Chains A and B, each alone.
Chain A
């Protein structure tokens, strides 16, 4: 078996095409475990995984926890409400204290971009997996999205993928752009100009579109991003109603995409804002398939940082 040579998985930007392929291939084989009656293998027995979540999460945290348990690792969850951070402890001190308990992997979600690199430097003997950092990357989401596309089309090369929404503040968009570019897909992004960051086209094989229509026209994949009304509501857009009208996906504009186009969303969904319920629950929706693949992808990530020779 090919070897994965990184201690950490922090960003798809840091991985090669071959490494992404390896993670996806392994995830495919992990899926078989998830379909068994007894969904457990001894692969990571005796390993300790700490899920350290500084931001709220249901899907990602549960998914990582299940992934760890199915590989027989011991998993511990720490969320901010129960951690020392409320007592004013720094990330550095929290890291050093956790490290003293000898974990093998720390899976962290943190609101500050790049904080995983900071964490990783403090712990040379423990793997760090990024479960989302600020507005930077969310590599497990990017991988599970690519796995879901690959399931549907049997390939990633040559796909036209539209990503619509707040690109500037989306770590999901960044991970998808990095990953999809490496895998040979073409990414079309669209959103209100207030939500498209400067130089987005230089991030990879990306075309920034002036309208949503242009982005989803003949797309194989339409990926809608969550609009956080508490954030974008202030100055980036007038209101949810107008956003839905110009940047929301509905059964009418979905017809502009290819007839067999798949619809994706990283969740949680604002029904009626970025997507109408008809699309969320429609035939073309692969949203729950994404969630299902999330477990397999995370099993693959946990497995690979724990195995093989680390550079």
Chain B
């Protein structure tokens, strides 16, 4: 089984390639990249003229809700949404029911994804048992079972002592800790960013310092222990600054942001729009500018969606009662491509943030089109115009603030291990 992707703009930052070339795939691996490659007998050909051909996109932060919350999303629908959005791999967070805090749940996810999924699924295990914030989970076994990181995403590890020990222990095993950086006592009953908008519409505010203080704590612990840490969903100007300074000092810190944090401000909450409610909350214009600057100068390593599907019943309620989170897999690529149009990132830099860096940070053995690499490839049309419509989204849930938006850029083929995914 072979595939020849012809005449696309091949962008592979791992090899410093950005040119119109052909990519030949054989037996699930990249065989060769070059000009005017000829197709071997029986080879499928894909015309990629005018399209970009890049290492398969990786979303290192999604919620697939399986097991236990399949009414929101499951491994099948979630990976279908991922493939539709151009992702060849996703890392799923462990706040399922039960949580991914043991080998059995991790294996269930991996096996179901292999059998029925539309893209690769790398589970993230919990830091603490049952995400209780009480005792460490069996990180060794979680890694053996195939978990690529640990995180209590959705809530912070409140105890600095437990976080310190978790960082140290995880470093010994060689598994990355992803921190949900949030100081709950500062969040209180807040439901949106604290600022002028919360003042005007009378919703309780979450101050930015609730994130900043937690980011600073994780960095200090990483610095003290020498262990690496990855900060999830960075949303504030303060966090970007703190991470930038830490990186300059040589602290082993990496981080990600999500498309909504560089696309929307808390103005989107006006009208009490529950599809603009997430945690961390949408911030203000100065934060959006800082996130973009952080992406540009390399402070922010990755773009991940924090894809958080919720049922209509959980969003079509009063604002305070609505669940936090929005779906993102199918809008991430076009929203991120806007950064290229705006001159924030070059296309190769975008590919680094959406493929190479997540692979590197979590040692996924992907994110490259080098000869012999797993043939996970995303082919997208950067100019394709389309409108986000609820009934056309593959995700089971439709909780997106971008419904009705006119977007530019769309995946046209998602290739996983050499095979074009049929959605």
Contact = CB atoms under 8 A, between A and B. Distances in A.
B317 A90 contact: yes
Interface stretch (B64-72, B199-207, B365-373, B381-389): B199-207
Interface in B203-230: 203-205
A198 B199 contact: yes
A198 B199 CA distance: 6
B195 A198 contact: yes
Given A90-B317, A135-B204, A114 B272 contact: yes
Contact of A112 (B199, B200, B271, B321): B321
Interface in A1-37: 13
A228 to B, nearest CB: 14
Interface string B316-344: 11111100000000000000000000000
Contact of A198 (B196, B271, B318): B196
B198 interface: yes
Interface residues of B, number: 20
B317 A198 contact: no
Nearest to A137: B202
B201 A197 contact: no
Contact of B201 (A90, A114, A168): A114
B265 to A, nearest CB: 13
Contacts of B205: 197-198
A171 interface: yes
A136 B318 contact: no
Nearest to B188: A235
B101 interface: no
Contacts of A171: 202
Contacts of B319: 112-115, 118
Contacts of B201: 113-114, 136
B203 A198 contact: no
A175 to B, nearest CB: 10
A226 to B, nearest CB: 16
Contacts of A111: 320
B74 interface: no
Given A91-B318, A92-B317, A117 B272 contact: yes
A118 B199 CA distance: 19
Contacts of B321: 112
A202 interface: yes
A160 to B, nearest CB: 22
Nearest to A134: B202
A199 B196 contact: yes
B210 to A, nearest CB: 14
B194 interface: yes
A114 B317 CA distance: 11
Contacts of A197: 198-199, 205
A112 B195 contact: no
A9 to B, nearest CB: 16
Contacts of A109: none
Contacts of B313: 90
A76 to B, nearest CB: 22
Contacts of B202: 113-114, 133-137, 171, 174
A253 to B, nearest CB: 27
A91 B317 contact: yes
B203 A113 contact: yes
B293 to A, nearest CB: 23
Contacts of A279: none
B272 A199 contact: no
B133 to A, nearest CB: 22
Contacts of B200: 13, 174, 199, 202-203
Contacts of B195: 198-199
Interface in A104-158: 110-115, 117-118, 133-137
Contacts of B204: 135
A269 interface: no
Interface string B74-110: 0000000000000000000000000000000000000
Contacts of A115: 272, 318-319
Given A110-B318, A112-B318, A135-B204, A117 B199 contact: no
Contacts of A91: 317-318
A118 B319 CA distance: 9
B196 A202 contact: yes
A133 B317 CA distance: 14
Contacts of B272: 113-115, 117-118
Contacts of A92: 316-317
A244 interface: no
Nearest to A91: B318
Nearest to A199: B196
Contacts of A113: 201-203, 272, 319-320
Contacts of A135: 202-204
Contacts of B317: 90-92, 118
A117 B269 CA distance: 13
Nearest to A114: B272
A43 B318 CA distance: 33
Given A113-B202, A136-B202, 11 more contacts: A92-B316, A112-B321, A117-B271, A118-B318, A135-B203, A135-B204, A171-B202, A197-B205, A198-B194, A198-B205, A202-B196
Interface of A: 13, 90-92, 110-115, 117-118, 133-137, 168, 171, 174, 197-200, 202-203
28 contacts: A90-B313, A112-B321, A113-B201, A113-B202, A113-B203, A113-B320, A114-B201, A114-B202, A114-B203, A114-B319, A115-B319, A118-B318, A134-B202, A136-B202, A136-B203, A137-B202, A171-B202, A174-B200, A174-B202, A197-B199, A198-B196, A198-B198, A198-B199, A198-B205, A199-B195, A199-B200, A202-B200, A203-B200
Interface of B: 194-196, 198-205, 271-272, 313, 316-321
